[in-house]
Amino acid sequence: MNYEAMAVTVSDLNLYIKDKIAQDEALNAVVVKGEISNFKAHYTGHFYFTLKDDKSLIKCIMFKSYAERINFKPKDGMQVIVFGGVSVFERDGIYQIYVKAMQEQGIGDLYAKFEKLKQDLEKEGLFDENHKKKIPIMPKIIGVLSSKTGSVIKDIINVSTRRNPNCYIRLLPVPVQGPGAATEIAKGIKIMNENNLADVIILARGGGSLEDLWPFNEEIVARAIYGSNIPIISAVGHETDFTISDFVSDLRAPTPSAAAELANPDIFELQSKINSLKERARINLKKKIEVLNLKLNRLNNSRVFTNPMQNIENNYLRVDKYIKSLENSIKLKQKEAEKSFIEQITKLDALSPLKTLTRGYSIIEKNGQLIKSCNDINSGDEVQIKLFDGEKKANIL
């Protein structure tokens, strides 16, 4: 076996494992409890530590943006509950938890609400794959529900116009955090549907804390997404952020820019593919014409085309020969049948009773019954005597 041909690089293997883990939704939002060990607060503001129990351990990292939000100082031996996602650090080939929140005791109210609503909606069927709608291949209008300011809408416009300059972006501004944001987001989805304002909707906002992203974890938004007739792409937060909207939507994008790429085909790439297909079709058509020309040349060299009457005459002679052969066969069969018929007639004539009478024999009958023995008649009986030239009656003495 050629193992060298089958081998992959270490980087390829680690990337493959990372992608597999990223596809597992259960690993993208985990709540884990354990004891902190080997804690290190890096000068960059990131936290590095190990979370362990009495049987196992797992490495953890908490980036500065999340670490700044906790209201206590983590230390070795502290029992905590962390919320985050599992991924692979490709360089070292290790998997670890990317922590977004940490509590000394239990889990916060928001996380509990998140988990409960997620479980309830999943049981109800709002996350079912068979309900998800396909994203249009070539949408003419892309609706965007997001803040009218900030980098999100700019990124979507830049990516969309670069990939497909003919696509129209229709922004319906909605608040993406704070009180009442969930109601406005749900209302925006309803307006888009009732007025048929887009072929596909991108629901987007940038990254933030769980509290910042909470409108996208509200039940009213989840049900609005589920009830939408227009396909919806959810692009909320960073790649490691997951919300209820991501699970309900027809497609989840890791970032708003990625959502624009998923919604817009690259028309230049499509044009290149079309040109390639046209060239293949031209080559195939040329080959087909060449094959047909070869067939035509063979036909032109055939006697059917060079001397068509000769072929007709030959066929006429062949048919005439078949007719004569058939007539001879019929005559021969007739003679054989006539001879057999005569032979059968001769045999029948030799066996005929009338033929026997011509040789001087007679037939005696009594009351229409043939007399074969003297015991069949008595004195005084009247009988009929048949000769070859007639009949006579007689009385037995």
| CA separation for the pair 8, 115 (Å, rounded) | 39
Task: Write the pLDDT tens digit of every residue in 250-306.
Answer: 999 989 999 999 999 888 887 888 888 888 988 898 889 888 888 878 776 665 556
Candidates 109, 85, 93, 92; CA nearest to 32 is 85
Task: Write the pLDDT tens digit of every residue in 34-81.
Answer: 888 888 999 999 999 999 887 889 999 999 999 998 988 888 778 899
Q: Is the pLDDT of residue 87 over 70?
A: yes
Q: Topology of domain 133-265, per CATH?
A: Rossmann fold (3.40.50)
Task: Write the pLDDT tens digit of every residue in 302-334.
Answer: 655 566 677 777 777 888 888 888 888 888 888
CB atoms within 10 A of CB 367: 8
Q: Which two tokens stand for residue 260?
A: 């624009």
The CATH number of 8-107 is which of 3.40.640.10, 3.40.50.150, 3.40.720.10, 2.40.50.140? 2.40.50.140
Candidates 17, 14, 75; CA nearest to 50 is 75
Q: Which two tokens stand for residue 297?
A: 């040349």
- Contact (Cβ atoms closer than 8 angstroms) between residue 55 and residue 41: no
Average pLDDT taken over every residue of the chain: 85
